[in-house]
Structure 1
Amino acid sequence: LRLKENAEEKLQYDRENKELISNISHDLKTPITAIKGYVEGILDGVASSPERLDKYIRTIYNKANDMDRLIDELTFYSKIDTNKIPYTFSKINVSRYFKDCVEEVGLDMEARGIELGYFNYVDDDVIVIADAEQMKRVINNIISNSVKYLDKKKGIINIRIKDVGDFIQVGIEDNGKGIAAKDLPNIFDRFYRADSSRNSSKGGSGIGLSIVRKIIEDHGGRIWATSKLGIGTEIHFVLRKYQEVIQDEQNTDRRG
């Protein structure tokens, strides 16, 4: 019975990896084709006005970013699969860190015509212990996933940081198509898609949110999503605040 289960698990693993390769191939080819088309347009003089040239260059920039993220995601995924994620934990000032993250991703959102809001409700001195690079991956992956499903005339993404006792809670909200209640518990599973269709033209490797969950859980945090169909989705995660144990140190001194 156990051998049968192992065989089925291996078959499932092989199927998922084949799907991943297929998805990655498709999603790399799409921006490459677009970049070639826009570069040819520039070389052929089609982008004759400064406005059109600016539009072409912005599009090339966005597509190159998409490719870079996809390749980086695949590299990181291989480390998850072998349990070799390199974490470098340090003290991070929450207000400064997330402000910098938002400013960085804001340039990309502006180029895409997406409105990005940032609301910080934690004190300036709040600290968490985290890997700065991997937390940036968390933010980028969640936002990238939101961007794929923005279907309104004006895309909006809001990031909120708030204090919840011993934790900070981060919420990243979009005004996209939303997710059905039955699908919400599964969106962090590897290769899961709420609209399941590879034909939906949304693209993506299907591993972005599973990577996010892995990183958050490795930080001792928790992640979940809330959503309303036709209104949008919000992904939330919590991280424990860092608090120095000054009292214990004083007690130790007295005992000594």
Structure 2
Amino acid sequence: MSVFLYMYYSINPLVILLFALATYGLSFLIIQYRVEHFIYKRINKIYKDITLLESASFRKNSITTDMATLTKQIDQFAKGKKLEIETLKVREEYRKEFMGNVSHELKTPLFTVQGYLETLIDGAIDDKNVAEKYLTRATKGVERLIYIVKDLDMITKLEVGDLSLNQKDFDIVQLVQSVFELLEMKAAKKQITLTFDMDYKNPIMVKGDEERLQQVLTNLVVNSIKYGREKGTTEISIETLVKNKVIVRVTDNGEGIAKQHLPRLFERFFRVDKSGSRKEGGSGLGLSIVKHIIEAHDEKIYVESELNIGSEFSFTLEKA
């Protein structure tokens, strides 16, 4: 007290006040710096540990002491990582299933060809009738292999954009009619009727690659025949969607598809029937090719189906 009383009476009170303010300001800055540095080191360690932000970019930003903000960021990071891990797990399952399907699709015709050729080498070639029959069957196996490889090659080209489209104006009604004529005998074996929903007297001109879109319609109609019921119907309708778009619908009254399978229907080699019998044949790439061709035209494809009732595949096209 004596020291302060002495200073009060011997020194100007304004000087004391200024000294007090300066001391307070300096103390505040030192403490603030030390506290921020203390918190910064620990928060920065957390950021580094979870790699939420690069330490370099973190240093550029003002250091926050708001724990709620940090907690929110860490929570967002954790949710993002959880979603990423789940996505990777799903993709890994798809990859394993895809590899299994590829090996199965290639293995069956390869083993068939190998079996027939080995039989011929073992002496069956001396019997003209047997040799001719086995060579014919081996040829069919090779053709199936070529078919699968060609389809895979087409999908790859469509995905990377290497397959150029020869777009022109053409009559979609005439194209559907030609597909019907092409598959008429195949449908007749199951007594399935291929028909339009109405009588289209006038042409409907659209823009696209006629050859590729014929492949799309052929794949969809072939599937409707494969999985259609005896004496069933496959119907195609062409409707105006908006001013410059039409939608083509392929509808059947076949066995239908369960809802849980619809999201994966356009995957390569994906089959609803997991028995692996492949009794219906085909490369297992048809719908995947259909999807890629339609998307290459910057259009959309849709599917609606109900088990034991039937399915409807539809896709849009630009009017000419």
Q: Same fold (TM over 0.5)?
A: yes
The question of whether the paired residues in 1 share the 8 Å contact of 2:191 and 2:230 is answered with: no
Q: Say which SS state the counterpart of residue 226 (structure 1) adopts.
A: strand
For 1:150-161, list aligned pairs within 5 A. 150=228, 152-161=229-238
**TM-score when scaled to structure 1?**
0.66
Q: Alignment partner for residue 139 of structure 1, among 217, 221, 226?
A: 217
Residue of structure 2 aligned with 1:181, choices 239, 259, 279: 259
For residues 113-152 of structure 1, what are the structure 2 equivalents within 5 Å?
113-120=191-198, 124-150=202-228, 152=229
Contact 1:24–1:204 (CA under 8 A) maintained in structure 2: no
Contact kept, 8 Å, 2:192 with 2:230, in 1: the verdict is no
List gaps (5 residues or longer) in structure 2. Answer: 1-80, 116-128, 131-136
> In the alignment, which residue of structure 1 is the partner of 2:98?
16
The answer to whether residue 287 in structure 2 is matched with residue 209 in structure 1 is yes
1:118 aligned partner, one-letter code? F
Q: How does 1:41-190 map to 2 (within 5 A)?
A: 67=144, 72-80=150-158, 82-111=160-189, 113-120=191-198, 124-150=202-228, 152-166=229-243, 167-190=245-268
Cα deviations across residues 26-84 of structure 1 (Å, max 9, x unaligned)? 36888xx9xxxxxxxxx79xxxxxxxxxxxxxxx9xx99x9586565344234335542
More helix per residue: 1 or 2?
2
Counterpart contact for 2:155–2:288, Cα < 8 Å = no
| Alignment check: 8 A CA contact 1:159 1:170 kept | yes
Distance apart, 1:185 and its partner CA: 2.5
Q: What's the CA shift for 1:102?
A: 2.1
- Which residue identity lines up with residue 234 of structure 2 in the other structure? I
Aligned length in residues: 214
| Pairing 1:240–2:315 present | no
Shift of 1:121: 6.5
How far apart are residue 189 of structure 1 and its match?
Answer: 2.4
Judge conservation of contact 1:122–1:161 (CA < 8 Å) in 2: no
In structure 2, the residue matched to 1:198 is 276
Query: Does the residue aligned with 1:169 lie in a helix, a strand or coil?
Result: strand
C-alpha change, 1:111 and 1:195, in structure 2 (3 Å) is closer
Contact 1:160 1:170 in 2 (8 A): yes
- AA partner of residue 146 (structure 1): S
**Structure 1 position 187, deviation (Å):** 1.1
Cα displacement (A) at 1:14 = 7.4
Unaligned ranges ≥5, structure 1: 34-42, 45-59, 243-256
8 Å contact kept, 2:159–2:292: no
Q: Does 80-89 or 118-127 show the bigger shift?
A: 118-127
How far the C-alpha of 1:23 sits from its partner, in A, is 1.5
1:205 CA displacement: 2.9
Q: Please, what is the CA RMSD of the aligned residues?
A: 3.8
> What do residues 126-166 of structure 1 show as CA deviations (whole Å, max 9, x unaligned)?
3211101100110111122223322x332432222222233
CA distance in 2, matches of 1:230, 1:11: 29
Gap change, CA 1:202 and 1:96, over 3 Å in 2: closer
Change (3 A) 1:200 1:71: closer
User: Sequence identity, in percent?
Assistant: 28
SS of equivalent to 1:147: helix
For 2:108, give the aligned amino acid: H
Conservation of the 8 A alpha-carbon contact between 1:138 and 1:215: yes
For 1:85, the aligned partner's letter is L
CA distance, structure 2, for counterparts of residue 113 and residue 24 of structure 1: 32
2:42 aligned residue: none
Give the AA of the match of 1:90: K
